């Protein structure tokens, strides 16, 4: 979650200003180094992850750059009040500790806490919490031709009125195609045709996680009901909706103090610079260092039964995405010198077609031929619908 990465990489960069005056750097901000920052919630009904990073002092922020310090070598586990533990299955290079309780059937009425035993010998614990039930949710989308966008909506209703505090996260996945399919490629010293006339690097998949903090509370309403809340929208000109699109939404119900913590975090992320905004030293949460109470930690870990759903959208035919004008093809003899073809590659060109009768190959801009140039990879997600193209 990018809003907490702001804390793990730098605390309050807005205090830095470029001038001949010595910048004001309060000691409590300058020295906030190496603080454990914890992101995530414990889900008793399925897979979840907990990301652990460490903060850097404000003085380390220079020229718009910051360094994220990932905590990859901690022992991280969930424990109930009876002492039963559930250890993380694995950890990623980005400090994400992955759990999956799907087959372990933890008691939904018990209380749980997160425990982190860091490599420096310190132990951090959250308070014990019971699981919060999450009401079901429905997803749908609307194509708005006037505003030229696709809007994605969520609806939720808890008849018992026990949910009240809602938090949503989502991850997007989409495919897109290159501007021109290529039926040949350059291989070390020559141009070769692709096998079975299958286009080379034509379709790619990309993804991103939400960076917004999406919160709604219904405690002031007569009913615990949310109807058609827009949680995301995408303009027609965006490459994400040129082919096929999937959004994976997770709804979590928070208790009151967890909601207040997230609201505080939202304000600090988006309203920073306002004199009335919460300051970084107000953000702590429910995690503490039990081996040394003077050591600070940041994060709030709830226990929940999250609801997760995917929405798939076929975007073929939507107007708006503007393709780059392409220059005329460059024609290269098949027996051309390797040095000529390498120079074309260095100039940003790739072959796309071979004419065996004329004994030439046709070249054009690599960024219009190789889908990887737009950031994605030709790797099909496991959940991709079988009726949608896979190459």
Residue 175 belongs to some domain of the structure: no
For residue 136, is it within any domain? no
Q: Which domain, by its residues, includes 91? A: 2-130+256-301
Q: Is a pLDDT exceeding 80 seen at residue 281?
A: no
Interval 171-188 mean pLDDT: 96
Number of domains in the chain: 1
pLDDT number for residue 57: 64
Tell me the pLDDT of the chain averaged across its residues: 86
In this prediction, residue 279 carries a pLDDT of 52
The verdict on residue 201 lying in a domain is: no
Q: Is residue 330 part of a domain?
A: no
Percent of the chain residues past pLDDT 70, beyond the cut: 85
In a domain, 334, yes or no: no
Whether the per-residue pLDDT at 66 is higher than 60: the answer is no
**Confidence class for position 316, pLDDT limits 50, 70, 90:** very high
Residue 349's pLDDT band, with cuts at 50, 70 and 90, is very high
Task: Answer whether residue 225 is part of any domain.
Answer: no
For 1-43, write each residue's pLDDT tens digit: 444 444 444 333 333 333 333 333 334 444 556 789 999 999 8
Report DSSP state, residue 16: -
Q: Are 269 and 3 in contact (CB under 8 A)?
A: yes
**pLDDT per residue over 356-390, tens digit each?**
999 999 999 999 999 999 999 999 999 999 999 98
Alpha helices in the chain (DSSP H): 2-9, 27-30, 256-270, 338-346, 366-369
Of the spans 22-36, 159-173, 258-272, which averages the highest pLDDT?
159-173
pLDDT at 147: 93
Give a yes or no: residue 37 inside a domain.
yes
| Nearest-10 crossing angle of helices 2-9, 256-270 | 70
CA distance 391 to 388: 9
Q: Establish if 284 belongs to a structural domain.
A: yes
Tell which residue, 192, 243, 209, 190, has the closest CA to residue 391. Answer: 243
Q: What are the CA-CA distances from residue 374 to residues 198, 232, 241 (Å)?
A: 20, 22, 14
Nearest to residue 47, comparing CAs of 85, 15, 89, 14?
Answer: 89
Q: List, in order, residues 6 or more apart from 127 with CB less than 8 Å away.
A: 113, 286
């Amino acid at each position: 979650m990018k809003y907490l990465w702001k804390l793990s990489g730098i605390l309050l960069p807005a205090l830095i200003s470029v001038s001949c005056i010595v910048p004001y750097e309060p000691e409590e901000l300058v020295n906030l180094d190496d603080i454990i920052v914890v992101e995530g919630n414990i889900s008793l009904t399925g897979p979840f992850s907990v990301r652990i990073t460490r903060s850097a002092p404000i003085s380390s922020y220079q020229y718009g750059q910051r360094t994220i310090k990932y905590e990859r070598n901690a022992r991280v586990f969930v424990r109930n009040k009876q002492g039963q533990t559930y250890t993380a299955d694995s950890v990623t290079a980005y400090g994400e500790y992955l759990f999956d309780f799907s087959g372990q059937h933890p008691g939904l009425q018990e209380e749980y806490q997160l425990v982190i035993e860091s490599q420096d010998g310190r132990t951090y614990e959250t308070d014990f919490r019971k699981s919060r039930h999450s009401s079901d949710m429905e997803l749908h989308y609307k194509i708005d031709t006037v505003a030229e966008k696709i809007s994605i909506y969520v609806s939720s209703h808890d008849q018992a009125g026990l949910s009240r505090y809602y938090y949503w996260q989502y991850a997007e996945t989409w495919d897109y195609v290159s501007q021109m399919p290529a039926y040949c490629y350059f291989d070390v010293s020559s141009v070769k045709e692709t096998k079975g006339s299958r286009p080379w690097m034509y379709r790619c998949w990309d993804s991103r996680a939400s960076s917004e903090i999406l919160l709604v509370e219904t405690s002031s309403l007569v009913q615990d009901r949310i109807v058609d809340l827009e949680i995301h929208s995408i303009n027609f000109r965006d490459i994400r909706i040129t082919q096929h699109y999937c959004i994976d939404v997770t709804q979590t119900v928070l208790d009151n103090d967890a909601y207040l913590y997230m609201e505080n975090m939202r304000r600090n992320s988006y309203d920073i610079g306002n004199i009335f905004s919460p300051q970084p030293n107000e953000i702590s949460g429910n995690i503490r260092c039990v081996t040394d109470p003077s050591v600070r930690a940041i994060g709030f870990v709830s226990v929940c039964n999250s609801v997760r759903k995917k929405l798939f959208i076929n975007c073929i035919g939507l107007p708006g995405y503007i393709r780059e004008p392409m220059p005329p093809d460059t024609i290269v003899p098949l027996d051309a010198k390797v040095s000529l073809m390498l120079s074309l590659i260095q100039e940003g060109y790739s072959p796309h077609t071979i004419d065996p009768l004329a004994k030439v190959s046709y070249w054009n801009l690599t960024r219009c031929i190789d889908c990887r140039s737009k950031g994605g990879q030709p790797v099909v997600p496991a959940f991709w619908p079988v009726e949608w193209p896979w190459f």
